[in-house]
Amino acid sequence: MKKILIANRGEIASRIIRTCKRIGIKTVAIYSEADQDAIYTRIADEKYFIGPPNVNESYLNMEKIIQIAVDAGVDAIHPGYGFLSENAEFANKCKENDIIFIGPSADAIEKMGNKIKARRILGMANIPIIPGNESPLKDLNEAKLVANEIGYPVMLKASAGGGGIGMQIVCNDEDLEKYFTSNRRRAGDFFGDDSLFIEKLIENPRHIEIQLLADNHGNIISLGERECSIQRRHQKVIEEAPSPFIDEITRKKLYEVAIKIGKTINYSNAGTVEFIMDGEKNFYFLEVNTRLQVEHPITEEITGLDIVEHQVRIANDEVLSLSQDDIKIKGHAIEARIYAEDPVTFFPSPGRINKLSLPKGEKIRHEIGVEEGQEVTPYYDPMIGKLIVTANTRLEAIMNLSRALDEYNIEGIKTNIPLLKRISKNGAFKKGHTTTNFIAEELTEGK
């Protein structure tokens, strides 16, 4: 493999390019009108204009991306996360054009991309699944029957959903009547699939995920877990590894189930199995993210591995060079996502970055896609960077995080840094008492 096109933008494009440079692979960047001066376009070996800012005309334009890849003579495409990273059709188009897709097979993507199908497949393999229905809801009446059989409260979810879109907590029939039609329409608009299903709501849960690496030769290992419970509107804000909540017995069970899921769907490349866990450490399958995760750096920090490098090597049909016994977890890492958004309303805050000063330190890592003087546009996800801190212990990592956030300075736009500072100084967070309701319960006015 000599040349890779990165079908993405921003911080993740820069991060993939860095690894490719280190292992001697040339890179090709694509950019929209909004990204013509972006950092990643300058550090790539080649760059090609892809289209207007609108994603459907640029970063989601499969035909044009494939054509650029063919014209540039690349061996492979790395999709990063978001955009086309979990699109089975795109993975197939790469294969049809003799381009390696750096990710799992189109079959694995398709199976896990439809949450109803995923529930059905893994339920048959005796994977712990949250109680719910196994086929798309036909109408509101069927939804009511299912919800009452399972018992309120329930979660109404889009089968093709992701990023919290199409999810709604429902506490009674009246709520279901209120949200069913609008959620179906929203799912259709965002995903081109308006299928809905219902799951029992696990109250005050933790969100735990297991990072997997699997090659094309049947080898699969776990790189440990990440705690991703601190969320707002079902989107992660702070992640850490390892989890402060789970014990070694539960950890071992999680690894075993995650690997079993990987084997059940014949998974290859990097992937993440997400679980919901209740207060008694009972855990249930949530979904498989068939791509590189936003929060992969914290796993890299505690394992010493470069996950992107392993993705490339696996896609190049190399045998996994690691066994499970080779994976040693060392220290504690925390990632804080830096968003260009109002810290109170969570509304995006586009604009020009007048000043940018990043904290420095031996155990501080930055993955950032912007620079001073650059315009943050309203066209894409408002996450502009990630701050990763590492230490020998969790408490030390939290102290490093708090100090780094105090030194992090962005002027000209609003960011969520004030919110992140409050989290880092919160007593419940320091004790590891975090659930997906953490922000609502701990960071209300006056706390």
d(CA 306, CA 312): 10
Residue 367 pairs in a beta bridge with 386
Say how far apart CA 298 and CA 417 lie, in whole Å: 19
Q: State the Cα angle at 216 between 210 and 219, rounded to 5°.
A: 55
Mark whether 365 is an active-site residue.
no
Backbone angles phi, psi at 50, to 5 degrees: -110, -25
Task: Name which of 304, 333, 338 is nearest 409 in CA terms.
Answer: 338
SS3 of 109-150: the string is: HHHHHCHHHHHHHHHHCCCCECCECCCCCCCHHHHHHHHHHH
- Angstrom distance (rounded) from CA 88 to CA 103: 10
Question: Which helix (H) or strand (E) element contains residue 13?
Answer: helix 10-22
Nearest alpha-carbon partner for 41 in 33, 31, 51: 31
Please pick, among 291, 313, 337, 394, the residue that the annotation labels catalytic: 291
- Positions marked catalytic: 291
